[in-house]
Amino acid sequence: MKAKIVLLPGDGIGPEVVAQGEKVLSAVARLWGHQFDFESHAIGGCALDELGEPLPVETLEACQKADAVLLGAVGGPKWDNPQAKKRPEQGLLGLRKALGLYANLRPVTVHPALVNHAPIKADRLFGVDLLLIRELTGGIYFGEKTEGTEHAADVCAYSRKEVERVVRLAADLARKRKGKLTSVDKANVLATSRLWRKTTSEYIETQTVGVELEHQLVDAFAMHLIQTPKRFDVVVTENMFGDILTDEASVLAGSIGLLPSASIGDGTALFEPIHGSAPDLAGRNIANPYGTILSCALLLRHALKLEEEAKAVEDTVWRAINEKVWSKDLVAEGESYFGTEEIGEQVVKWLPQFCPHLIEA
């Protein structure tokens, strides 16, 4: 396969973790006989500093022409000026909108070696393997806004079409897993949630086979996500609820640095770790690159349709964690750890063991 992959290193630790992602993708191409052509472009704060825009035209055009985009992180205290008309985060929001990315996928799998790293009882974490799907372009974040000194309002709005397209994706993914789909809403209070629930139920009943649907109110689900996380498999919800719940779910894995994400829609898909730019860690070779490397696995699976290669990357990361190739955020104070570059190198070193044609040879 030949593919063009745009790299958007961004700010803070973004360039360091994206470098490891590129390293792993290059190894995949070499081992499986693919040709991946990489292009790097600016986004976020560094783009503001260099080019005066958080999403330069050349960056957007390159992403629109690419087969996939790998992003590091954007933003940081340097650009935290509430009065500023241009902010780094506008680059990411603008890119999502321009590419038509309406669904954010966040898998949360708890490695047995790390169950004691989460602030939750270990017996609740064994076997947790979730896929949370957040609608990305509608809801209260994008509704009409009014703001004043005495009154403010944010309108939450959804159309049937917006709900149906993300539910369709969630159902397709659920069918490939355990056939279980949980839809999260607040239908007892919100009109948009009642539309969400009605649309979801009708779509599953009339358009899908082999998917079992359950509805959960968001407050109850937030509790069950911590109390009994292993009971859930694929979860779909609207934008704001998804924003909050996916961050809550991140604590299950033991470190936010472990978790990948994929934003999928009508155009080129975008892949990124869920962590921020962490400028205090930048340039110190201590950032956790696993979230980015696992985002590369999602890139291989969802953008390039290379399932074997995606699973090989995931299996290699699983082995590395099992053999305690741990970054600084995963060890106790004073304990030895692997640097960002060392982890990338170790994954590349072990990856051939999960390449079937090399094993057979």
Catalytic residues: 141, 186, 219, 243, 247
> Which DSSP string corresponds to 307-320?
HHHHHHHHHHHHHH
> What are 213's strand-pairing partners?
181
Centre a 10 Å sphere on the Cβ of residue 328 and count the other Cβ atoms it contains: 20
Query: Is residue 75 within 8 Å of residue 284, measured between CB atoms?
Result: no
N- to C-terminal Cα separation, the chain: 21
231, 258, 298 from 326: Cα distances, Å: 28, 10, 21
- Which of 130, 132, 91, 95 is CA-nearest to residue 239? 132
Tokens 């260099």 belong to which residue? 50
Whether the Cβ atoms of residue 236 and residue 174 lie closer than 8 Å to each other? no
Report the DSSP beta bridge partners of residue 216.
Answer: 184
